[in-house]
A = this chain, B = another copy of it.
Amino acid sequence: MTITIKDVAKKANVAPSTVSRVISNNPRISEKTKRKVRKVMDELNYHPNLNARSLANRSTKSIGLVLPPALDTSFHNPFFAEVIRGVTAYSNQKDYSLYFITGNNEDEVEQTVIKTIRGRRVDGIILLYSKENDKIIDYLNENNFPFVLVGKPYHSIDDITYIDNDNYAAARDVTNYLIEHGHRQIAFVGGESSLLVTQNRLRGFQDSMQLNGLSVNEEEIIFTSFTRDGGRKAVNQLLELKELPTAIVVTDDVLALGIISVLSEHNISVPKNISIISFNNAIFAELANPPLTSVDINIYQLGNEAAKNIITKIEEPDGTEKSIIVPYKIVVRGTCVKNERLTLVSS
């Protein structure tokens, strides 16, 4: 029923091996027979069986995309859709397919990764998130399996190729920006504290504050989840402070959204009563009310570079692919203004 390489060979009066060579565009085949064979392939509407091919040549032309566990609130983050866009653009062009790897919890994800790799379903892996003590990264490293990380590695930073922004610098910039706008009491709200991106942005924030002679209390640093309850938790904690900060550095637009909404329940208006600056410039940052002042981290490019990196790594195993830092920039919109409140905090 299914038409195979043999059918093509027979009809074109050549050997199967010749057809195979035509498929892979082997230069040792004459243009004449190439044309002849291609014509027959068209007539028969032939499409190669990719499993057979993968089995024979030990290559799948597929790459595995590892996402955080589907039950995590972060799974919904538009960040992933946008990285995947970037990945797709490049991988499609290079004729690579994407395998989607996730699970309901961390263990399931890990098991799926192992099964997929050992099952020889993919030639390489793109890890779409980075967190502390991640077993997957260790597995990949130990087994010398080609992979690239989107984000900063928790350890072995010199042995792992990664694509990331300079989140530390970005967070410093952002904090400096607030300080330049007259803010002195600034809080920090981040996502899960085990996420590397949270940690890096926190350090940038802290260093900027310190270098500017500003103090940060422990209660002004908050970790929470990407839900309304998460936003509520953060806001409640802020409300308990003797004085409300005049500005907040928020590590993610989704988080900012929730905080703004909950604040307005309390009749605290952004940016009039409090300024917010967040990260990622997700697609809806411009759709928010008010539109978010946010750090554009070039998510698309992050994905695109990751794809480029893993594919060349696969195709040139001896090549020495380097990690890449993607630039960022602050996009000023409507959540951030000069501090009008008189502040008694002195350096």
Question: How many Å from the CB of A260 to the closest CB on chain B?
Answer: 5
Interface presence of A308 (CB below 8 A): no
Within 8 Å by CB of A99, from B48, B92, B100, lies B100
Q: Name A20-75 residues within 8 Å CB distance of B.
A: 47-52, 54-55, 60, 65, 70-71, 75
Whether the Cβ atoms of B264 and A287 lie closer than 8 Å is no
Q: Is A112 an interface residue (CB 8 A)?
A: yes
CA distance A92 to B257 in the complex (A): 32
- Cα-based distance from A184 to B71 in the complex (angstroms): 42
Q: Which B residues touch A118, using CB under 8 A?
A: 47
Question: How many copies of this chain are found per oligomer?
Answer: 2
Cβ of A182 within 8 Å of any chain B Cβ, yes or no, is: no
Q: Across the interface, do B108 and A257 meet the contact criterion of CB distance under 8 Å? A: no
Residues of B within 8 A of A102 (CB): 88, 92
What is the interface residue range for chain A against chain B? 35 or more
Write the nearest CB–CB distance from A278 to chain B, whole angstroms: 12
Kindly state the separation between the CA atoms of A54 and B55 in the bound complex, as whole angstroms: 10
A260 to B84, CA, bound (A): 28
- CB within 8 A of A291: which of B55, B228, B288? B228
CB distance from A66 to the nearest CB of B (A): 12
Report the 5 A-B pairs with minimum CB-CB distance, sorted nearest first: A47-B118, A50-B119, A98-B100, A257-B287, A51-B54
